[in-house]
Amino acid sequence: MTLHLYNTLTRQKEAFQPIQPGKISMYVCGVTVYDYCHLGHARVLVVFDVIARFLRSQGWDLTYVRNLTDIDDKILRRAEENGEPYQSLTARFIDAAHEDEGKLGIVPPDVEPRATAHIDDILAMVQTLIDKDFAYAASNGDVYYRVSRFKDYGRLSNKNPDELLAGARIDVDEAKEDPRDFALWKHAEADEAGWDSPWGRGRPGWHIECSAMSKHCLGEHFDIHGGGPDLPFPHHENEIAQSEAANGCHYVNYWIHAGALRVDGEKMSKSLGNFFTIRDVLEKYHPEVVRYLLIGSHYRSPINYSEDSLVEARTGLERFYGALRDYAEVEPASMKDLEGSAYYRDFVSAMNDDFNTRLALAVMYDLVRDLNSESDSDKARAMAAELKALGAVFGLLQDQPDRFLQAGGADAIGAEQVEALIAERADAKKAKNFARADEIRDQLQAQGVVLLDSPTGTQWRRE
């Protein structure tokens, strides 16, 4: 089955052709580390984590690079506000980002370059652009890229360069030749964060950082570049202009962008009071519930975060874990062993169609339905092993079924207390005190605990 990707550059779905047979090189823009990661970051992190997991499950030799921006105007402003060196600020939030990613089940990228470790690469690329007349050192100490020299500018974001010119402006303290020109190198005063350069002390512009880091890690031309919904313009547009002008070759074959995340139908914003960090959400919800919500829609589609949507995600996962409850000890199947399975075939077909997680989840629901009705124990165990293997591609079904189904919030009735009440209920039924047995069931139901009676005993889960 051939992998097809929607390419933002061409605005159409295309059959994937790797630069090197069997290998994929992928660069994804990571976070700017001046604060805790929020839900918008989580959407991008989870989307590309699932893409990486799936590609590797299909035998692709993937090199996954995701950068960290650790020098930036926002970082410097926040450090100044806090009265601390910017290095201590970024170190703290890099550690926090890694902690959040770990809790969300994000597999670390193969390479995680940091902008401050690639200043020499950045300086070399800026100098090349100046030498090729695609950039110029201005009178204010900045170095700017000449947008007018790059004929395809605006192609990725589908923007007309003339319209960009009409809507652009030049600030009074800038020395641009053209309002559309953007900074490759920013002047820094002696007491500001910066590095020495042929054009004076300064620091890199945001866009040049990714051009230099991607070249260092993957070369001048690679397969896939990804990021969030706000990056096609200007960030990725500027990356293309810089890289292709400096390197003299095509930069990236396929551009992938995740859809926007909204909160209760509105853009997430601190001013609206609907801004949530990853750690805020994980205090209340199981990490897999959050992952499920973020992959429940196609990665290019907008997604709405709300309490109702999280409840729906929890309910969906409960169906999977409920089906696996009697197969907790079953190991996930290997992908090679699943090649003859119709479920596996349909799952892979969905994912090869531009990573259609929504359709792939529907296949998993079909598998759950059939597992729940399967009477042959050997077949049922094989189906459970397949369900776990498919779930692993999404970073789901990694918990023990009972632990997931019985997990509750900080104010929920404890598991030991639930078990004690179940035991008391069993004794009441043996004593034919059915009124007390019903009373216990109702008490637990009121506290969000559902009892599941069977010939082998009573299991329970939280609503």
pLDDT at site 173: 54
pLDDT at site 410: 46
CB environment 370-385: b (16+ within 10 A), e (fewer): ebeebeeeeebbbbbb
432 assigned binding-site residue: no
Q: What are phi and psi of 369, to 5 degrees?
A: -55, -45
210 assigned binding-site residue: yes
pLDDT at site 134: 98
Which H or E run contains 90?
Answer: helix 86-103
**Residue 141: burial class (beta carbons within 10 Å; 0-12, 13-18, 19+):** middle
pLDDT at site 92: 98
Let me know whether 348 and 413 are in one domain.
Answer: no
Query: Does 373 map to a domain?
Result: yes
β-strand 449-454 against 457-462: which pairing, if any? antiparallel
Structure tokens belonging to residue 356: 């259609």
Question: Which CATH number do you get for residue 339?
Answer: 1.20.120.640
Which H or E run contains 320?
Answer: helix 307-323
Q: Which residues contact 171 (CB under 8 A, 6 or more apart)?
A: none
Which parts of 394-433 fold into alpha helices (H)? 401-406, 415-430
Q: Which of 261, 292, 316 is the last residue of a domain?
A: 261
270 assigned binding-site residue: yes
Let me know whether 86 and 159 are in one domain.
Answer: yes
Query: Does 249 map to a domain?
Result: yes
Q: Which of 382, 404, 426 is the last residue of a domain?
A: 404
pLDDT at site 452: 78
Query: Does 275 map to a domain?
Result: no
235 assigned binding-site residue: yes
**Residue 302: burial class (beta carbons within 10 Å; 0-12, 13-18, 19+):** middle
pLDDT at site 449: 79
Query: Does 241 map to a domain?
Result: yes
Rg (CA), the chain: 26
192 assigned binding-site residue: no
Let me know whether 431 and 350 are in one domain.
Answer: no
Angle at 242 between CA 240 and CA 246, to 5 degrees: 115
Q: Which of 207, 239, 261 is the last residue of a domain?
A: 261
Q: The pTM is what?
A: 0.89
Question: Which CATH number do you get for residue 98?
Answer: 3.40.50.620
Q: How many CB atoms lie within 10 A of CB 212?
A: 26
Let me know whether 52 and 184 are in one domain.
Answer: yes
Full domain range(s) for residue 325:
306-404
Q: Which residues contact 39 (CB under 8 A, 6 or more apart)?
A: 261, 263, 268, 276, 277, 278, 281, 305
Which parts of 178-276 fold into alpha helices (H)? 206-218, 237-247
**Contacts of the segment 78-82: beta carbons below 8 A, 24+ positions apart:** 78/34, 78/35, 79/34
- Domain tally for the chain? 3
pLDDT at site 205: 96
Distance of CA 198 to the CA centre of its chain: 38
Let me know whether 234 and 381 are in one domain.
Answer: no
Residue 52: CA count within 13 A, CB half-sphere: 24
Let me know whether 210 and 245 are in one domain.
Answer: yes
Q: What are phi and psi of 218, to 5 degrees?
A: -125, -10
Query: Does 8 map to a domain?
Result: no
Asked if 184 contacts 204 with a C-beta cutoff of 8 angstroms, the reply is yes
Low-confidence ranges of the chain (pLDDT < 50): 172, 410
Mean pLDDT across the chain, nearest whole number? 92
Let me know whether 169 and 252 are in one domain.
Answer: yes
pLDDT tens profile 417-460: 677 777 778 777 788 887 887 877 877 777 677 887 877 778 87
Among residues 224, 221, 127, 142, which one has the least CA distance to residue 181?
Answer: 142
pLDDT at site 84: 97
Query: Does 205 map to a domain?
Result: yes
Query: Does 297 map to a domain?
Result: no
pLDDT at site 169: 60
Let me know whether 425 and 397 are in one domain.
Answer: no
Asked if 144 contacts 129 with a C-beta cutoff of 8 angstroms, the reply is no
Query: Does 11 map to a domain?
Result: no
Let me know whether 241 and 340 are in one domain.
Answer: no
Let me know whether 244 and 373 are in one domain.
Answer: no
Q: What are phi and psi of 315, to 5 degrees?
A: -60, -40
Report the alpha-carbon distance of residue 237 to residue 218 in Å, rounded.
19
User: Is 462 strand, coil or helix?
Assistant: strand
Let me know whether 417 and 340 are in one domain.
Answer: no
pLDDT tens profile 369-400: 999 999 999 999 999 999 999 999 999 999 99
Let me know whether 201 and 349 are in one domain.
Answer: no
